[in-house]
């Protein structure tokens, strides 16, 4: 099973821009922090720009947050990125002739929906400012 790191990387990009304003904010510099390549960063930055979370100018390595970090939630970032927006997945190939296999998908779908709704609500209450502050606080402790 392959997991997508788009959400993590998109939050990383926004946090990097928030912390390093006025420094090198090129896609190459951000990619080096993520451990990815610049084209991945540019694609995610495009998604963030389209969603109104980031302001960029073609040819200039000076992206800025479109809103204050307090006004950007993890849910905003989650919705902004171009990916399948399902947190939990159900195996579609269960045995329909089995008591469990024939009912597990509908049963889990109900429970998974409850979990996803709760997760989305929590994501709405965690801001980019929270992420940035946590990183800065962790850095102070390690110094």
* pLDDT score recorded for residue 57: 84
Task: Return the domain boundaries, the chain.
Answer: 6-142
C-alpha to C-alpha distance for 93 and 74, rounded to whole angstroms? 32
Select the more confidently predicted residue: 101 or 83. 101
Q: 96-123, pLDDT tens digit by residue?
A: 999 999 999 999 999 999 999 999 999 9
Q: Which CATH architecture does the domain made up of 6-142 adopt? A: Orthogonal Bundle (1.10)
Cβ–Cβ under 8 Å, residues 102 and 73: no
What is the model's pLDDT at position 140? Answer: 76
- CA 70 – CA 81 distance, rounded (Å): 19
Model's pTM, two decimal places?
Answer: 0.88
pLDDT (tens digit, 9 = 90+) per residue, 43-77? Answer: 999 999 999 999 998 877 899 999 999 999 999 99
Within 13 A of 40's CA, how many CA atoms are on the CB side? 18
Here the tokens at position 87 are 């947190």
80 close to 65: Cβ distance less than 8 angstroms: no
């Amino acid at each position: 099973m392959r997991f997508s790191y788009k959400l993590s990387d998109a939050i990383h990009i926004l946090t990097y821009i928030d912390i390093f304003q006025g420094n090198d904010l090129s896609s190459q510099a951000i990619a080096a922090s993520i451990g990815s390549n610049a084209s991945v960063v540019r694609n995610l930055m495009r998604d963030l720009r389209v969603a109104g979370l980031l302001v960029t100018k073609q040819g200039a390595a000076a992206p800025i947050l479109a809103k204050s970090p307090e006004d950007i939630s993890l849910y905003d970032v989650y919705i902004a990125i171009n990916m399948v927006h399902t947190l939990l997945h159900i195996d579609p190939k269960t045995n329909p002739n089995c008591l469990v296999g024939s009912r597990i998908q509908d049963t889990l779908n109900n429970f998974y929906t409850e979990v996803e709704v709760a997760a989305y609500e929590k994501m709405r209450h965690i801001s980019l400012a929270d992420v940035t502050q946590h990183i800065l606080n962790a850095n102070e402790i390690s110094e």
